[in-house]
C-alpha cells in the first residue's frame, strides 16, 4: 500500500502500548474461510519505541522460545506496515509478548499476533488508521478474513474477501453459548492442512455447504441453538482433513450424543471444538468423551471450556515517564491478574 503521507515523520509521544487480543476459531464447520468466532483465550503484546536505539524482543509463554528475535519477526514487520501506511518512521522498537494461545493448533495464533501488532503499532502513533484499515491489512496478511475478523471485532464474524477488499458482518454470540475445545499435543501446520483439500468439488457438495453455512449463520443470529447440530455439518474440508487427526471423525459424528449442540474442526486443526448450551447437564460427560476418544487413538489432548469473547482488542496506552515503578517488572508480572489460572 502507498503511504498516506509523503513526508515520513516520527511520532510516538513517549508511549508504551499494551494490547490484549482474543484467540479465535474459524470455519465453524461449513463456513470455510468465512466464519469465525472470538474465544476467551488471549495474547498480550507491549510495544514502544526503543529506548536504546536497537530493536528488542521479549517473549513469554509456552512455545514462544523459537520465535525470531530480530527484524524478520512477524510482529515487527506488521508494525512497520502500519507505520508505512501512516507515513510515520519508527524503525527501532521494544516488543514484548505473552500468549496463552497454543501455536499451530487451529486457534488463530497467527491471526491474533497480526491483530495485536497492527493495533499496538496504530495506538503507538495515535491511531491514524481506522478499524477497517486494520481489517484490510490483516486479511491480506493472513490470506482469509475469518480469524482476523473475529479477533479484531470480537463475537461471531461472517466475512468475505475477493482478493482485493474484505467485508464482514458481526453477530453477538448468544448468552447461553459455550465451547469446549480439545487441543491435541501435536502441531498441524495450516499449509499441510490446506494441501489435504481437493482442487475441485462436486456440485452437490458445494450446494450442501452453502445450505449448511447459511443455516448456521441464521441459527447463530437468531439464537436458534437447536439448529446448530444440523447446521455445523460439512463436506468441503473436514472429511479431507480427518485422516490428519486421529479420533476426529468419531468426535464429529458422536459429540451430540454426549450433549454437544454441534462440533467441528477448529480452523485447520488439530483442535476440535464443540458448541454447548451453558445450562447443559452433560458437560462432564462430553469432556470425558472427547478425552477418551483422543486417548483411544494414542493422542493426549488438553480440554478447555471457553466462552465466546464479545469484544476485540483491549488497549492500554501509558507514558514511560509514569512507569518508573514498573521498570523491572516483566510483562507476565504486569498482567498476572488477567492470566488464566
Query: Which pLDDT band holds residue 313 (cuts at 50, 70, 90)?
Result: very high
Quote the longest CA-to-CA distance of the chain. Answer: 64
Q: Residue 186: is its pLDDT beyond 50?
A: yes
Condensed to tens digits (0 to 9), the pLDDT of residues 228-238 reads: 999 999 999 99
How many Å apart are CA 278 and CA 317, to the nearest integer? 35
Q: What is the DSSP letter of 196?
A: T
Which residues are paired to 184 by β-bridges? 301
Q: Which domains does the chain have, with CATH numbers?
A: 15-171+311-331 (3.30.230.10), 177-306 (3.30.70.890)
Condensed to tens digits (0 to 9), the pLDDT of residues 84-109 reads: 999 999 999 999 999 999 988 999 99
What the block records as the C-alpha cell of 151 is 479477533
Q: Residue 1: is its pLDDT beyond 60?
A: no
How many Å apart are CA 49 and CA 91, to the nearest integer? 8
Enter the pTM of the model: 0.92
Place of cell 466462552: 307
Contact 139, 239 (CB under 8 A): no
How many Å apart are CA 188 and CA 122, to the nearest integer? 31
Which of 156-160, 163-167, 273-277, 325-329 is predicted least confidently?
325-329
End-to-end CA gap in the chain: 42
What mean pLDDT value characterizes the chain?
Answer: 91
Strands (E), 122-271: 156-161, 166-171, 177-184, 262-265
Number of Cβ within 10 Å of residue 89's Cβ equals: 14
Query: Which pLDDT band holds residue 340 (cuts at 50, 70, 90)?
Result: low
Contact 4, 85 (CB under 8 A): yes
Q: SS3 of 153, please?
A: helix
Identify which of 186, 7, 182 has the alpha carbon closest to the alpha carbon of residue 84: 7
- Across 157-183, b (16+ Cβ under 10 Å) vs e yields bbbebeeeebebeebebbeebbbbbbb
Where would I find the H helices in 154-202? 190-195
Q: Report phi then psi at 141, rounded to 5.
A: -70, -45
Query: Which pLDDT band holds residue 258 (cuts at 50, 70, 90)?
Result: very high
Amino acid at each position: 500500500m502507498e503511504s498516506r503521507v509523503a513526508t515520513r515523520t516520527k511520532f510516538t509521544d513517549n508511549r508504551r502500548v499494551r494490547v490484549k487480543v482474543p484467540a479465535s476459531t474459524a470455519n465453524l464447520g461449513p463456513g470455510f474461510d468465512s466464519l469465525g468466532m472470538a474465544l476467551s483465550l488471549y495474547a498480550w503484546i507491549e510495544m514502544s519505541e526503543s529506548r536504546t536505539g536497537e530493536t528488542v524482543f521479549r517473549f513469554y509463554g509456552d512455545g514462544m522460545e523459537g520465535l525470531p528475535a530480530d527484524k524478520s519477526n512477524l510482529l515487527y514487520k506488521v508494525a512497520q506496515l502500519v507505520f508505512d501506511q501512516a507515513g510515520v518512521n519508527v524503525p527501532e522498537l521494544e516488543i514484548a509478548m505473552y500468549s496463552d494461545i497454543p501455536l499451530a493448533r487451529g486457534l488463530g495464533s497467527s491471526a491474533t499476533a497480526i491483530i495485536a501488532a497492527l493495533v499496538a503499532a496504530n495506538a503507538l502513533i495515535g491511531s491514524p488508521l481506522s478499524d477497517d484499515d486494520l481489517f484490510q491489512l490483516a486479511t491480506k496478511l493472513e490470506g482469509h478474513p475469518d480469524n482476523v475478523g473475529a479477533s479484531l471485532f470480537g463475537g461471531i464474524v461472517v466475512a468475505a474477501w475477493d482478493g482485493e477488499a474484505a467485508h464482514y458482518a458481526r453477530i453477538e454470540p448468544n448468552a447461553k453459548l459455550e465451547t469446549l475445545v480439545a487441543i491435541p499435543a501435536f502441531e498441524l501446520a495450516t499449509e499441510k492442512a490446506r494441501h489435504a483439500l481437493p482442487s475441485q468439488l462436486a456440485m452437490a457438495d458445494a450446494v450442501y455447504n452453502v445450505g449448511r453455512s447459511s443455516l448456521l449463520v441464521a441459527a447463530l443470529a437468531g439464537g436458534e441453538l437447536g439448529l446448530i447440530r444440523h447446521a455445523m455439518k460439512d463436506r468441503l474440508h473436514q472429511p479431507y482433513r480427518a485422516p490428519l487427526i486421529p479420533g476426529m471423525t468419531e468426535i464429529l459424528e458422536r459429540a451430540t450424543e454426549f450433549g454437544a449442540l454441534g462440533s467441528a474442526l477448529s480452523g485447520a486443526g488439530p483442535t476440535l471444538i464443540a458448541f454447548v448450551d451453558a445450562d447443559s447437564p452433560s458437560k462432564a460427560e462430553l469432556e470425558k468423551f472427547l478425552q477418551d476418544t483422543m486417548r483411544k487413538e494414542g493422542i493426549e489432548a488438553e480440554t478447555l471450556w471457553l466462552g465466546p469473547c464479545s469484544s476485540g482488542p483491549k488497549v492500554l496506552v501509558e507514558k514511560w515517564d509514569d512507569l518508573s515503578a514498573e521498570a523491572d517488572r516483566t510483562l507476565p508480572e504486569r498482567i498476572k491478574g488477567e492470566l488464566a489460572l
